[in-house]
């Protein structure tokens, strides 16, 4: 099924909820172009996310994240998978809201843990690989995910294609109204 996007589709939510996998599934199912902000940041700085945090710190990562988000508003329409911390800056929330429709992907911390466990690609999860550790980072962010979102989609026991199908159904329903 090909679908014509008229504005960006942003996927937000905590690490491990399935944003990147859903982005790829959505791109396959709709034929729309898609990007992952973490991959663009890695390309821009020529380093992995872990190395960016190690060498330059989180602030520099966040500065680059905002630059990338701004650049993407000029390349619209795209499906954009955002890093889990994108809502930490108010400026980013404004960019998302102006740039298109924002889907907040949500999963239970236990499910998140099962998806991120054993991977060392996410510097902020160091020392937080437990349900308590995830909640410590996740709970303060929830109001900001809520503020940025247009729609919420649960991902707990769904495949990326099922999550993508839910998103497409919401977009189609909204296009009718
Ligand atoms: C982060 C999430 C990561 C990445 C970076 C920081 C966060 O992206 O941007 O490690 O602050 O939640 P994913 O959500 O794609 O893992």
CATH number of the domain bearing residue 164: 3.40.50.300
Residue 18 has pLDDT above 60, yes or no: yes
Angstrom distance (rounded) from CA 46 to CA 37: 14
- How many angstroms separate the alpha carbon of residue 89 from the centre of ligand 1? 13
Angstrom distance (rounded) from CA 44 to CA 36: 12
Structure token pair of residue 68 = 């990338």
Which pLDDT band, with edges at 50, 70 and 90, does 1 fall under?
low
Domain count, the chain: 1
Q: Which domain holds residue 46?
A: 8-176
For the stretch 75-95, pLDDT in tens is 989 999 999 999 999 999 999
- Asked if the structure places residue 3 within a domain, the reply is no
- Asked if the structure places residue 1 within a domain, the reply is no
- Asked if the structure places residue 120 within a domain, the reply is yes
Sheet holding 151-154, edge to edge: 34-36, 79-81, 8-12, 100-106, 151-154
Q: Which H helix or E strand runs over 11?
A: strand 8-12
For the stretch 125-159, pLDDT in tens is 999 999 999 999 999 999 999 999 999 999 999 99
Residue 13 CA: distances (Å) to CA of 20, 69, 153, 167: 11, 16, 10, 14
- Asked if the structure places residue 92 within a domain, the reply is yes
DSSP 121-143: --GGGTT--SHHHHHHHHGGGHH
36 lines ligand 1 (CB under 6 A): no
85 lines ligand 1 (CB under 6 A): yes
Q: Whose CA is nearest to atom 2 of ligand 1?
A: 84
- Asked if the structure places residue 29 within a domain, the reply is yes
Listed in sequence order, the residues at least 6 apart from 54 whose beta carbon sits closer than 8 Å to its beta carbon are 123
- Asked if the structure places residue 2 within a domain, the reply is no
Which pLDDT band, with edges at 50, 70 and 90, does 6 fall under?
confident
- Asked if the structure places residue 38 within a domain, the reply is yes
- Asked if the structure places residue 131 within a domain, the reply is yes
Widest pairwise Cα distance in the chain = 48
- State the average pLDDT for the chain: 95
């Amino acid at each position: 099924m090909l679908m014509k996007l008229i504005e960006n589709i942003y996927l937000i939510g905590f690490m491990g909820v399935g944003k990147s996998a859903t982005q790829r599934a959505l791109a396959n199912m709709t034929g729309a172009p898609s990007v992952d902000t973490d991959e663009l940041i890695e390309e821009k700085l020529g380093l992995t996310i872990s190395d960016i945090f190690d060498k330059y710190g989180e602030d520099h990562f966040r500065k680059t994240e905002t630059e990338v988000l701004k650049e993407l508003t000029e390349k619209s329409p795209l499906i954009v998978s955002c890093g889990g911390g994108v809502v930490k800056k108010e400026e980013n929330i404004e960019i998302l809201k102006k740039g298109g429709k924002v889907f907040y992907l949500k999963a239970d911390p236990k499910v998140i843990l099962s998806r991120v466990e054993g991977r060392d690609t996410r510097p902020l999860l160091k020392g937080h690989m437990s349900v308590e550790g995830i909640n410590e980072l996740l709970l303060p962010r929830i109001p900001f995910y809520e503020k940025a979102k247009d729609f919420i989609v649960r991902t707990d026991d769904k495949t990326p294609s099922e999550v993508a199908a839910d998103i497409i159904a919401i977009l189609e329903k909204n296009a009718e109204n």
